[in-house]
Structure 1
Amino acid sequence: MDTTEPKTEPHVDSTLRHESPRTIITERYRDLLLEQESLPDRVFISGYSLRELDPNLVVLDEAANEHPLMKISSTVGIVRSLTIAGTIFAPSVHLVMADLNITDSTIGALQVSIFLFAYAIGPLFLAPLSEIYGRTIVTHVGNFIFVTFSIGAGFAKTTAQFSVCRFLSGIGGSASIAVLGGLVADIWDLSARPKASGVATLGPVLGPILGPVCGGWMSQRASWRWTLWVPAIASSVIGIAGFFAMSETYAPRILQNKLRKTQTTRPNARLYTVLDLTSHPTGARHMFSQFARPVIYLVVDPALLLASIFLSVIFGVIYLIIVTFADVFGSRYHHSVGIIGTDFLAIGLGMIIGTIGTIKAMEAIFTRDNLNGKVKYQPESRLLSCIIGGTLTVGGLFMYGFSAGKTHFIVPLIGSTIFAMGAMNVMLAIQLYTLDGFKFPASAFAALSVLRCIFAGVFPLFGEKLFEKLGVDWGVALLAFLVVGIGLPLVTMLYVFGQRLRKIGVAHMEKFEMEGKR
């Protein structure tokens, strides 16, 4: 935030005295933007320190906590609550197949994956929309679409009806994912961001875990259709509460709203904001560039691409492990559908422990990098903990795979807990790296989600055949080798060369932005 007082100079050039206040503010504002370029945190500058230079300048009053960075918003809690319903019907996929006459196991697995493919596509345009129209409206509209088509999927009579409704409900549900990264960057600064990000992202990562816990018992006691209707009902209640409790967190949108409100009370004043001091192109080409930004980020920024690949592998492995639970604990340990759903709590417990451990590690690293008030922090520091996280991920996978069906069922559950601890550490570290290292955090976060959701959707499609060929033991071992073979080189490259790679991405993105302005 621009909390510094306006610069005062004892000797002002005579030509400057004849310049308009708006011209002076424009020059000062550009100086503030240039000064911010050297800082690791990119907080929106609303012009608060320039407010006394012109009464017509509308700013966010930081003394009144109007800047989103100065307050904790209930919006985060509501958005997080909307991210956990996607896989609740996963344990009942065989019941869906029987009811809809689906005989191909790949088509059956696709009914879970299609929701994740929608999660990959939705943020590509929803995240840029949230950087134009704000986080709140995107969340509300997305939730309405999710509720509508989740209810429709519950009434589906054919595979085609079910697939279309699942895909469209996934598009709507992805709105909460699309805005989540931006929300964290809107409200919390670098020092508080690890804890905030850990809490905020527990919804998306615990969704695949808590969903089956509820869905398993629901399918066994009621019907698979209720695994779609109950999330729709819950999201409706949360959405209605959101209309009253959610507040906008995107600072430029808040400033635009304040300008419109102020214009109603001062209709004759020539009011403006710092947003009017820089050019903001419009037109179809510019709008296309905004929607294409997440994909362009992924293509032209090598640092973001490398981070996305590692995160996607981890996320895909999580979904493959989820696929094995029905065979391991159902066929080998004879657990019922409801008990299998409860077995997923082992992964959920690991994710919670991993989140707490990662937050502590991130806070310690940030404190180390800022001793004596000298800021040495670089976003690549977030990746240090991935070494421990990757080790736990691989160790947990080996323990789970080679003990499944050969020991007491508690042993593979402990292995899955250790695996989840490490996986959560890696995911949270990479997500924080993305929020800290890129100019448009919502679009960067959406870009990160593209490969993540595609991998999570594709992996279960070949998972059953993989484990049929290799068995659970060597099939899971292959996943462990995949994490080692991809994760270790990528993290090393990002930590050593990440700053230079991000500069390459910045240059490419600036060129893309300039093309969009023409």
Structure 2
Amino acid sequence: MAQDQPLVGKATPQDNVISVASSNGSKQATEAPTPDPNLVDWDGPNDPNDPLNWPRSRKWATLLPMSLFNFLSSVSSATMAPALQAINQDLKFHSPALLVLSLSIFLLGTAFVPLFTAPLSEVLGRSMVLQSANIFYILFNTLCGAAKTPNQLIAFRFLAGLGGAGPFAIGSGINADLFRPRERGQAIAVYTLAPLIGVVAGPIAGGFLVQYTSWRWCFYVISIAGGAVQILGIPFFHETYAPVLLKKKCRKLRKSTRNGNLYTQHNRTSLLQLLQTSIARPFILLGTQPIVQVWSLYCAYLWGTLYLLIATFPDVWTNIYGESVSIGSLNYLSFFVGMGMASQVGTRLADRYYRVKSVNNGGQGTPEFRLPVLILGSILVPVGLFWYGWSARPSMHWIMPNIGAAIYGGGAVLEMLCVIGYVIDTYTKYAASAMAAIIVLRSILAAFLPIAAPVLYHHLGWGWSNTLLALIAVVIGIPAPLLLWHYGHSLRKASPYARDDL
């Protein structure tokens, strides 16, 4: 069976396989054909080699290294924000727009690579693709610190972004590989919070590094940490993609039994055909799936406004409140506080609501059960933007814009948690490809929106600029979950890629 065969019936692709291979259970009675003795599959639904059945400790030991790289990549995307003036003094950029571009070009690099790394991970395996991308990222991030001209810095930042994008979409696939829907809350929280905390931690570290050492160490420190994670994570990171693991099992059985007729459901198609199908899939999802299109648009706006705030945050504290670069960078902690509280409260709230609604629905959960918490986040985001914009003035205490930033950060985390959960639940087998499609628009807007920040804030000021951003968030963010609550099930049933049994 080709890898890209549409999902049908009442179970995941793994569940369909189990019901065929199992020797007992009600599902077996409904299967008309006799199982092919040459078909290599899991040894029943409780096979300990199936990543869904791994011990909890092994699952988390595999997930955490990927989350750390997700964290470091995001740290790298924002660490140089407080160092922009020092970089400008050293490298002599020709315009403020080019200077901001040297910060945001990293995100442009992350925009397109997931379209290829995510589907490649669904053919070659998660581990090989992820670790190759990490090495590429460490190399070019180090070269950023050695840049001698603005063009070199922009080019190396773009190439570092290409490698740094590895964990972004693959992480969603790993989450789907390891955890069943009812178990995904904490895993999604770690995967989602890691890059968001990285965006906050990066500028704090960058502020102290640029004040007490040099802007170049903003890159060197991260590369050293990335190398350490790469080396220390090798023994813990295991391959998680079931089709790749089954192919390995098949090869071993062929060798031990000398039965050349053994096969899996995923190796009847040539590698070249699988690659062509898999690489095309994110583009197909982005072009044909309304669910992916809706979340791509909203995540793009969320990510874009987040990086706009990250890029302009130092100006508030150094220009309005007269703080030093290092002390001003500590105000990024307000994002961390909001995000941390939202991840803890939001995860528990979302999981509790999901479980209660699943019980009331005969034990069957649906992606729509994640939307009420998302609606809460869609309200907090514009409130936070409005509060932050109108309180950033000398007559207001410095804690006031920090409170607004914390509210915005909390709302953004709630929404990211729910969006990723919704996408993984909807496109279980193709979760990595679906997230890759979403990351494209997200990263493009995050790369270019900060470039507009100097003009926006110069002409409208902090209050009206953030009011405009808040109004756009209301127009995009609140209707989307309401529409999917009513039409999500119909859209899944009409999709050849989504699960229609939810």
The verdict on a shared fold, with TM-score over 0.5 as the criterion, is: yes
Residues 479 and 449 of structure 1, relative CA distance in 2, 3 Å threshold: same
For 1:78-477, what aligned pairs fall within 5 Å after superposition?
Answer: 78-84=65-71, 85-86=75-76, 87-268=78-259, 270-276=261-267, 279-280=268-269, 283=272, 287-371=275-359, 374-405=362-393, 406-438=395-427, 439-477=429-467
Q: Which residue of 2 aligns with 1:482?
A: 472
1:58 is the counterpart of 2:46: no
- 2 CA distance for matches of 1:111 and 1:249? 36
2:82·2:203 contact (CA, 8 Å) conserved in 1? yes
Q: Which residue of 2 aligns with 1:7?
A: none
Task: Give the structure-2-normalised TM-score.
Answer: 0.89
Percent identity for Structure 1 against Structure 2: 33
> Comparing 265-274 with 62-71, which one deviates more in the overlay?
265-274
> Comparing 88-97 with 175-184, which one deviates more in the overlay?
88-97
Q: Which residue of 2 aligns with 1:498?
A: 488
Q: What is the DSSP-based 3-state SS (H/G/I as helix, E as strand, rest coil) of the residue aligned with 1:280? A: coil
Residues 372 and 398 of structure 1, relative CA distance in 2, 3 Å threshold: closer
Shift of 1:324: 2.7
- 2 CA distance for matches of 1:183 and 1:263? 27
- 2 CA distance for matches of 1:44 and 1:105? 55
- 2 CA distance for matches of 1:259 and 1:50? 15
- Provide, for residues 155-176 of structure 1, a one-character-per-residue CA deviation record: whole Å limited to 9, x for no partner: 1111222122111111111111
Residues 57 and 212 of structure 1, relative CA distance in 2, 3 Å threshold: same
Shift of 1:46: 5.0
- 2 CA distance for matches of 1:177 and 1:208? 14
Task: Give the structure-1-normalised TM-score.
Answer: 0.86
Shift of 1:437: 1.0
Shift of 1:335: 1.6
1:142·1:175 contact (CA, 8 Å) conserved in 2? yes
Shift of 1:440: 0.7
1:394·1:419 contact (CA, 8 Å) conserved in 2? yes
Shift of 1:505: 4.1
- 2 CA distance for matches of 1:60 and 1:225? 50
1:37 is the counterpart of 2:25: no
- Provide, for residues 322-350 of structure 1, a one-character-per-residue CA deviation record: whole Å limited to 9, x for no partner: 22311111111112111222111110111
Q: Which residue of 1 aligns with 2:32?
A: none
Residues 367 and 376 of structure 1, relative CA distance in 2, 3 Å threshold: same
Residues 43 and 345 of structure 1, relative CA distance in 2, 3 Å threshold: farther
Q: Which residue of 2 aligns with 1:13?
A: none
What is the letter of the counterpart of residue 21 of structure 2?
L
- Provide, for residues 320-378 of structure 1, a one-character-per-residue CA deviation record: whole Å limited to 9, x for no partner: 22223111111111121112221111101111111122212221222222226713432
- Provide, for residues 100-125 of structure 1, a one-character-per-residue CA deviation record: whole Å limited to 9, x for no partner: 11031100111111100111111010
Unaligned runs of 5+ in 2: 24-34
1:77 is the counterpart of 2:64: yes
- 2 CA distance for matches of 1:381 and 1:282? 38
- 2 CA distance for matches of 1:268 and 1:108? 62
Q: What is the DSSP-based 3-state SS (H/G/I as helix, E as strand, rest coil) of the residue aligned with 1:506? A: coil
Q: What is the DSSP-based 3-state SS (H/G/I as helix, E as strand, rest coil) of the residue aligned with 1:457? A: helix
Residues 91 and 139 of structure 1, relative CA distance in 2, 3 Å threshold: same
1:47·1:274 contact (CA, 8 Å) conserved in 2? no
- 2 CA distance for matches of 1:491 and 1:48? 34
Q: Which residue of 2 aligns with 1:512?
A: none
1:48·1:60 contact (CA, 8 Å) conserved in 2? no
- 1 CA distance for matches of 2:15 and 2:473? 37
- 1 CA distance for matches of 2:484 and 2:259? 54
- Provide, for residues 86-144 of structure 1, a one-character-per-residue CA deviation record: whole Å limited to 9, x for no partner: 22222212222221110311001111111001111110100000000111001110011
1:323·1:464 contact (CA, 8 Å) conserved in 2? no
Q: Which residue of 2 aligns with 1:16?
A: none
Residues 323 and 268 of structure 1, relative CA distance in 2, 3 Å threshold: closer
Q: What is the DSSP-based 3-state SS (H/G/I as helix, E as strand, rest coil) of the residue aligned with 1:299? A: helix
1:370·1:376 contact (CA, 8 Å) conserved in 2? yes
Residues 282 and 415 of structure 1, relative CA distance in 2, 3 Å threshold: same
Residues 502 and 414 of structure 1, relative CA distance in 2, 3 Å threshold: same
- Provide, for residues 252-297 of structure 1, a one-character-per-residue CA deviation record: whole Å limited to 9, x for no partner: 1111112222333233464333435xx535546x633421221221
Unaligned runs of 5+ in 1: 1-25, 27-32, 510-518
What is the letter of the counterpart of residue 456 of structure 1?
A
Q: What is the DSSP-based 3-state SS (H/G/I as helix, E as strand, rest coil) of the residue aligned with 1:254? A: helix
The structure with more radius of gyration: 1
What is the letter of the counterpart of residue 10 of structure 2?
S
- 2 CA distance for matches of 1:508 and 1:379? 11
1:306·1:494 contact (CA, 8 Å) conserved in 2? no
Residues 230 and 90 of structure 1, relative CA distance in 2, 3 Å threshold: same
- 1 CA distance for matches of 2:17 and 2:417? 30
Q: Which residue of 1 aligns with 2:30?
A: none
What is the letter of the counterpart of residue 37 of structure 1?
G
1:154·1:225 contact (CA, 8 Å) conserved in 2? yes
1:184·1:196 contact (CA, 8 Å) conserved in 2? yes
Q: What is the DSSP-based 3-state SS (H/G/I as helix, E as strand, rest coil) of the residue aligned with 1:59? A: coil
1:127·1:179 contact (CA, 8 Å) conserved in 2? yes
Q: Aligned Cα RMSD in Å?
A: 2.5
1:119·1:171 contact (CA, 8 Å) conserved in 2? yes
Q: Which residue of 2 aligns with 1:8?
A: none
Shift of 1:247: 0.3
